[in-house]
A = this chain, B = another copy of it.
Amino acid sequence: MAQLLRHVRCMATRVTRLRVGDSAEMRKRFTMEEVKAFAELSGDDNPLHTDQDYAANTRFGKCIVHGVLMNGLISAIMGAKLPGEGTIYLSQEIAFRGPLYVGDEAVARVEVLDIRKDKPVVTFATQCFNSSGDLLMDGKGKVMIPKDTHANSIEQADN
């Protein structure tokens, strides 16, 4: 139950304490219009993402969301939920395990793996699943968190 209560799903923009095991999720379906908007924004106009006829002749059979856009959900959780506002991305490792099809629901999830004591740096497991529970993206992200959040997290861990 304690673990369940620590599972952060609220829309608060600032978490003042973190514990190893804290997690947060975000769900999103990317429409073809959104995928095309990202292709335009980034310049990544690989037809695998935006051309149904082209995608039909690939191993995927239909259009898939850009991997980097799917990873945007991870950044979104970190910047908006856990740790929230003021978070600065330091690094990310990503392995793409399977395709997110345009229109399918993505369930992105982050979980605190490590909180450094000597500096305000936190490592997260970062994953994305489809609605069937298949792992689509797996990795680790490291972020810098606001100093007061770090101080509170360390103080709590020491108690």
Contacts and interface: CB of A to CB of B under 8 A. Distances in A.
Interface of A: 26, 28, 34, 37-38, 41-49, 58, 66-69, 71-76, 79-80, 85-96
Contacts of A26: 43
B68 A72 contact: yes
7 contacts: A26-B43, A34-B41, A43-B72, A43-B80, A45-B80, A71-B71, A92-B93
Contacts of A34: 41
Given A85-B47, A94-B92, A95-B90, A76 B37 contact: no
B91 A44 contact: no
Given A67-B89, A91-B95, A96-B90, A41 B42 contact: no
B66 A75 contact: yes
B91 A96 contact: yes
Contacts of A89: 67-68, 96
